[in-house]
Structure 1
Amino acid sequence: MDKTIYFGGDIITLEDTLYTDAVLVENGIIKDLDTFDNLIKNNKDANLINLNGATMLPAFLDSHSHLSSLALTTELVKLHNAKSFDDIKNIILKFAKDNNIPKDEWIICFGYDNNNLKEKSHPDKFMLDTINIENPILLTHTSGHMGVVNQKGLDLFNIDKNTKEKPGGKIGRVGNTNEPNGYLEENAFISRCTNVYKTTSDKIKKLINNAQNIYASYGITTAQEGLLTPKELGMLKLGDSIIDIIGYVDIKNYPDLLNNEKDYLKKYNNGVKLLGYKAFLDGSPQGKTAWLTKPYENEKDYKGYPIYEDAQVTNFFKKAITENVQMLIHCNGDAACEQFIRCYKQAKEETNCKNNIRPVMIHSQMLRKDLLPLVKELDIIPSYFVAHTFYWGDVHIKNLGERAYNISPLKSSSDLNIIYTLHQDAPVIMPNMIETIWCATNRITKDGVSIGKDEIITPLDAIKAVTINASYQYFEEDIKGSIKIGKQANFVILSKNPLKIPTSEIKDIEILKTIKLDKVIFEK
């Protein structure tokens, strides 16, 4: 037998007995928890792993991200550090020159944030057309919900003054005319950009494996493909099984895909498993496309907008309930959260639902405290993007006023014993679980503003949100999420114990090792 004993540091189980002295693993499964002396007595042939004072936790589980998108963005022009339109121009020009890009090939860029640019606005086609190259250019906002193309890009997308907008999206216009200015939002952007990137199978395999290694470097052994189409599934099938990947099918555009892929439905096949469906109800709060019940600050009437009418959302839920699969739905604004609750409740009544499909409310930024009792009653799992408090907290204060201080109501959820998870929505930001734990336990903006101190949670609750709670979200609580006899030997080893240091120092903790089924998949 392949046996290992882990000992010599703080081992946090996340079970009722929070710490154990040592852990015995056999063939990738946790066999026993006891003192080192007791375990070694009957297992003298075991491999010995001395933690040397480091801290071991159950490995982290990513409760929402887009692994294939993260894989592709590693090859795109990176705009995260751009501070002005001139920076964007210079980065694109350097990329085109260094890579000798053919004139008709798309130059695809990712990660600009209008809130961080000197101009405090989105670029447009006129700005991009001043770049002295003949390529179509696509800029994707860091949120992934909007972007900009130059005139050549608009031509390839067949967008002109006669192009009509469809519900749930927006085409930017020049002044009061119908001439498109290159800015595209939500459905108008996402629907046109999915097939722009072209590559080879060998390259995709490499990119998918690179992305899995990125997750592993952050202590993650289970990641998510949060909007899966045949394209993403094809990409995932090419990768090696380094970590587990759980996918959710685009219910609007591919309603039959889940049932056409029985080899992946609720079971792992080469490390990939499909658990249910995904849909969007609104957009991004920092992009001011999230759907609110009250207008944005300094806006007379504008509240963002929905993507679907209630009837369509209810039908999405009914489909998931009937097939007994999970439903993940993107909601940022409080109006979208209300729609989720309203339509799920109606779907349960119309189907006489007895199963708990554990529906997940992705992001839940503006989920109001008065809605939490209904979340609890309906067994909805909010998955909070709490790192918004740091990355866009200052923008939220500007856009949302006092409401910004209540985003991601973690403590209020804890007080009601609501099971919730935390995520990073990679590639929006990197899947840095340690940083997210720090955000949840400090809630400090980039400008140093305390944003919602009443919603701060303990380090232990934050850790549970990315381990044992996330395993529950995935219906895997029997095999993952804590250090318990019978569960998988999936561990992360940290440089310090987050339960024993000031919360302000948590962000400085290093991932030393990530272990999946007793095998090291990342080592610093």
Structure 2
Amino acid sequence: MSLPHQPGCACCTLPRLSTQLDALQHHNWTESLSGLIRVAAERAKLALHQDAAIFHGGPIYTLQGGQSGRVEALGVAHGKVVSVGSLRQVEADMQAQPRAERIDLRGKTLLPGMVDPHVHILPSALYRNWVNLSPFEDQILRPGYNLGWVAEKLRNELTARHGHTRADTQQWLTGFGVDPSLMTKWQEPDQPFLDQISTETPIFLINASGHLGYANSPAMKLAGLDPDSKGVTTEADIGKVLAVIPGLAAPHLLSKLQEILHEAASRGMTTLFDAGLGAAMGQLEITLLRAFAQSPLAPVRIGAALYSNQDWLQEQWLHTFQPNHIPHDDDRFSIRALKLIADGSNQGLTGYQSQDYCCADEHHVPNVSPRGLFNFEPPITFAAQLQRALNAGWPVLVHANGDQAVDYVLAAFELALYDENAKDGAPNSKLALRSRIEHASLLSDASIATMARLKLSPSFLIGHVGYWGQVFKTTILGRDRAQMLDRCQSALKAGLRISLHSDHFVSPLGTLRMMEQAVTRVMEADPERQPLNPTECLDRLSALRAVTLDAAWQCHMDHIVGSLEPGKLADLAILEQDPLDPAVPAGSLRDIRVHQTWLAGKPVYQNPKTH
């Protein structure tokens, strides 16, 4: 069994994906991108829009100053907000734009464009080319999710490919998103199970957490895996399997990349923050995503944190880039921070805990301690890595799920943030960098107090409560420790600015869904749909702020997005209903339809069902 402190990659398998993205190096992906851009440009010509507009006739929330900032009208021109206030005032301020289009909202609600501050864009695009085995149907838990359903999906895919289930040892059958923890009965799709699907076609599945994989006998043989593992693989062996699976062609990857960004726009998002860019292909990922974001293909703007777990990689980033915190007009792509991953996934039983997982004996992960794993020697080695980044002026996002991982990370920050040259009472500039704890899933009162003192803010994967809350409470963590999960309200009371994120591909894109889960904290797998620790429920405005202004603040983008104020970019979403209206049930916020999404004063999404 591995030592719990052994260095290892527990970061959603991102570095292991290099072989799957290898086609980008050997294929002229710029030709494929240029072709997509030409098509998008032609469509844009057909959707010309005035460069100025006055919105009125419905609730308009600016989020100015962190309050709702409700106003009667909003004026935009040349991609920016010009005026907010009464209709008369906005009309006066817009006199320099005599041809401004007047847009009557007809009772619809206008908000700042929403921000998801933690996603993984390229891996999500890659996995969308695999068979979808996730427990989610759109943004809802799939009823009757079990191994039987997984088997049926895989057999149907084999049949669709070949007309029958004959063998094809050249074409792998790959699936993503399988999650035993959310099945009606927790069962691993191990080698004996997958061999029932086929003993000739190689099959490989990756767990929804990204930390585990499952292989059948042909796949194990091709990858040289230990037959005693029963096909259940952790990060190192996942890399061996991915190395022998044929890579994805560039046009397919680019198509799925476009699909993800348009899905985000269709759900009211105008900013995605990639929390781990460069993990698989380094500079090539940055080049690709920048080119995509700055083209007509992208209906959202993209910020990023660079994956930096290895010393050599961190040094490379420090010598190549500077954090982009300077205001820019309509900046569609920017690198804002560095990313470190301290532990694994709580639902994957690899997040590092202060005590054994309740289900460790029954659902033990091969080569992982029953308390999970930590990727550094805590806290000294980890502190040195943090300190290099902070001393160079970089904010750092640190992935920490387990409560022991959080405490180790905070101890490392204590060391890294210490400024021996600062005089008594002098400000410590490193405290102002807005460093974050990603997921911060299990927080004690002491941890929250330490975060407040160190000026660290949490970003919560709130789907842990909504989707996995029941299994955390009954199986993985136990009733008492599950109360520590995603303590949103306690963090706010301690003076922390919080955000909510999807960690997509881990949970579905959907900021309104994330608001709903933070407001209700309903455990959606619970037949009685009880809330998990309702004292941590957010009010609606706080939840909205956590996917707009405060999410933008955490990403160092609040000077341009996150609220609708004169001089800021006109990124906005128009909704069919008002999510702040108490008459709209809190449990149906995810069902609110997005009517339009605008980026820099131009519509980039229009819902065909609301026109």
The residue type equivalent to 2:594 in the other structure is I
1:2-401 matched pairs, under 5 angstroms:
2-16=51-65, 18-41=69-92, 42=95, 43-81=97-135, 83-100=145-162, 102-132=168-198, 134-160=200-226, 179-186=228-235, 188-189=237-238, 193=242, 196=245, 198-229=247-278, 230=282, 232-237=285-290, 239=292, 240=295, 241-253=298-310, 254-259=313-318, 262=321, 271-297=332-358, 302-310=370-378, 311-349=380-418, 354-355=429-430, 356-398=432-474, 399-401=476-478
Distance change in 2, residues 1:251/1:188 (3 Å): farther
Q: Deviations over 1:336-393 (max 9, x none)?
A: 1101110011112267563332211111110212211110111111001112111011
Structure 2 CA distance for aligned equivalents of residues 362 and 330 of structure 1: 4
Count matched residues. Answer: 507
List gaps (5 residues or longer) in structure 1. Answer: 162-178
Task: Give 3-state SS (helix, strand or coil) of 1:4's partner.
Answer: strand
Q: Tell me if the contact between 2:308 and 2:338 (Cα under 8 Å) persists in the aligned partners.
A: yes
Which moves more between the two structures, 74-83 or 55-64? Answer: 74-83
Q: How far has the Cα of 1:469 moved from its partner?
A: 0.5
**CA–CA separation in structure 2 for the residues paired with 1:218 and 1:407:** 26
TM-superposed deviation, 1:159: 2.4
Between the aligned partners of 1:72 and 1:455, the Cα distance in structure 2 is 35
More divergent stretch after superposition (376-385 vs 312-321) = 312-321
Distance 1:288 1:265, change over 3 A: same
Instruction: Tell me which residue corresponds to 1:504.
Output: 587
SS in 2 for 1:320: helix
Deviates more, 1:393-402 or 1:11-20: 11-20
Secondary structure at the counterpart of residue 213 of structure 2: strand
Percent identity over paired residues: 24
Where in structure 2 are there 5+ consecutive unaligned residues? 1-49, 136-143, 362-368, 422-427
Counterpart-to-counterpart distance in 2, 1:194 and 1:277: 27
CA offsets per residue over residues 253-273 of structure 1, 9 Å max, x none?
A: 433453465499668898332
Does the CA contact (< 8 Å) of 2:182 and 2:468 recur in 1? no
**1:23-82 CA distance string (max 9 Å, x none):** 111101111112223333424421111111011110111110111122222221011258
TM-score by length of 1: 0.90
- Whether 2:494 is the aligned partner of 1:419: answer no
Which structure is richer in relative contact order (CA contacts within 8 A, separation 6 or more)? Answer: 2
Question: Which piece of structure 1 moves more, 330-339 or 141-150?
Answer: 141-150
Structure 2 distance, partners of 1:97, 1:256, is 49
Aligned to 1:439: 517
Taking the aligned partners of 2:147 and 2:395, their CA distance within structure 1 comes to: 42
**Counterpart-to-counterpart distance in 2, 1:504 and 1:199:** 39
Q: Distance in 2 between matches of 1:417 and 1:266?
A: 23
Q: Which residue of 1 aligns with 2:8?
A: none
Query: Is the contact made by 2:309 and 2:341 (CA closer than 8 Å) also made in structure 1?
Result: no
Cα deviation, residue 154, structure 1: 2.5
Q: Give the distance between the partners of 2:323 and 2:155, measured in 1 at CA.
A: 43
Contact 2:510 2:590 in 1 (8 A): no
